[in-house]
Amino acid sequence: MPKVLIIEDEKNLARFIELELKYEGYDASVFGDGRNGLNAALSENWDAILLDLMLPELNGLEVCRRIRQVNKMVPIIMITARDTVLDRVSGLDSGADDYIIKPFAIEELLARLRSLLRRVDALTGNHLTVLTFKDLSVELESCIVTKGEKQIALTKREYDLLVVFMSNINIVLSREVLLNKVWGYQTGVETNVVDVYVRYLRNKIDEQNEGSYIQTVRGTGYVMR
58: left (phi over 0), alpha (psi -120 to 50) or beta: beta
Domains and CATH numbers, the chain: 3-124 (3.40.50.2300), 130-224 (1.10.10.10)
Report the alpha-carbon angle 5-116-4, nearest 5. Answer: 15
Q: Which pLDDT belongs to residue 124?
A: 55
Distance of alpha carbon 14 from alpha carbon 189, whole angstroms: 27
Report the alpha-carbon angle 154-189-125, nearest 5. Answer: 55
- SS3 for 187? helix
Q: Write the single-letter amino acid at 69.
A: Q
Cβ contact 175:191 at 8 Å: yes
Q: Which pLDDT belongs to residue 114?
A: 87
What lies within 8 Å, CB to CB, of 147 at 6+ separation is: 135, 136, 205
Q: What's the rounded mean pLDDT across residues 116-145? A: 75
Q: Which pLDDT belongs to residue 31?
A: 96
Distance of alpha carbon 60 from alpha carbon 44, whole angstroms: 18
Which phi and psi (to 5°) does residue 48 adopt?
Answer: -165, 155
User: Residues of the chain with pLDDT > 70: what percent?
Assistant: 91
Which phi and psi (to 5°) does residue 79 adopt?
Answer: -115, 125
In tens, the pLDDT along 152-204 reads 999 988 998 999 998 888 889 999 888 888 887 555 667 788 999 999 999 99
Q: Which pLDDT belongs to residue 127?
A: 45
Q: Which pLDDT belongs to residue 90?
A: 72
What is the chain's alpha carbon radius of gyration, rounded to the nearest angstrom? 18
Distance of alpha carbon 96 from alpha carbon 163, whole angstroms: 17
Q: Which pLDDT belongs to residue 81?
A: 82
The answer to whether residue 128 scores a pLDDT higher than 60 is no
Q: What's the rounded mean pLDDT across residues 61-69? A: 91
The answer to whether residue 126 scores a pLDDT higher than 50 is no
Helix (H) or strand (E) segment spanning residue 173 = strand 173-174
